[in-house]
């Protein structure tokens, strides 16, 4: 028990400083004494590829509800402090998204059965085709001007669509350039802090 408490304290301390990349696994053993099975499952949902959704579940209309984040490995999640780190990342993203203009009323994604999609980010319309790999949760969006790879993870209220931080920055730079908004620098500054963490949007139907 003493060892578990020490591990928990160390993980939470790391969460307040930074999310850093690490290899390996072992989240299950670290979390085994820290909470209920529901809590453990909720944390594992934040690991890309651990709990995914089917393409049938992906199909439909989704609206932005909050900033989203996902971790690239169980070990990174454990070392970052789990849900504490996730909330820390989201808290940093929120004002940056507000500066860009992302909101529930102007940011949506629609995935169709024929592998086409329509989206609005900050009100700017986008469309193209998509391919989704349920096993890994990888979602590739192909548009006329550019393509981007994202990752789908399940959340308690729907799903999270996340990207490598630099990819998200490029996406938002394109949106803001076309819309005349010049405030994307806030997201650019944040993207340097998220090594090993994917950031993006939580969506719900």
**3-state SS, one letter per residue, for 119-169:** EEECCEEEEEEEEEECCCCEEEEEECCCEEEEEEEECCCCEEEEECHHHHH
The domain of 194 spans: 2-204
Domains: count for the chain: 1
Torsion angles phi and psi, residue 104, rounded to 5: -65, -30
Whose tokens are 């193209």? That residue is 128
What is the structure's pLDDT at 19? 35
Instruction: Specify the higher pLDDT residue, 49 or 40.
Output: 49
| Residue 96 CB burial class (10 angstroms; 0-12, 13-18, ≥19) | buried
Q: Retrieve residue 54's tokens.
A: 């089917």
**Where does the pLDDT of residue 145 fall: very low under 50, low under 70, confident under 90, or very high at 90 and above?**
confident
> For 5-145, where are the E strands, in sequence order?
60-71, 108-111, 116-121, 124-133, 138-143
């Amino acid at each position: 028990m003493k060892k578990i408490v020490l591990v928990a304290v160390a993980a939470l301390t790391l969460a307040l400083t930074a999310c850093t990349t690490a290899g390996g696994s072992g989240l299950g053993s670290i979390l085994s004494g820290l909470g209920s099975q529901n809590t453990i499952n909720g944390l594992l949902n934040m690991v890309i590829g651990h709990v995914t959704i089917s393409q049938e579940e992906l199909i439909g209309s989704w609206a932005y509800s909050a900033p989203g984040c996902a971790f690239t490995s169980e070990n990174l999640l454990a070392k970052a402090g789990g849900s504490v780190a996730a909330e820390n990342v989201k808290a940093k993203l929120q004002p940056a998204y507000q500066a860009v203009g992302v909101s529930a009323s102007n940011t949506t994604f629609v995935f169709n059965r024929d592998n086409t999609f329509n989206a609005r980010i900050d009100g700017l319309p986008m469309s193209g085709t998509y391919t989704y790999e349920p096993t890994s949760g990888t979602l590739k969006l192909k548009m006329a001007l550019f393509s981007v790879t994202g990752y789908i993870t399940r959340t308690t209220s729907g799903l999270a669509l996340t990207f490598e931080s630099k990819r998200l920055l490029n996406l938002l730079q394109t949106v803001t350039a076309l819309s005349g908004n010049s405030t994307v620098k806030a997201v650019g500054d944040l993207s340097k802090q998220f090594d090993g963490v994917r950031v993006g949007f939580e969506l719900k139907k």
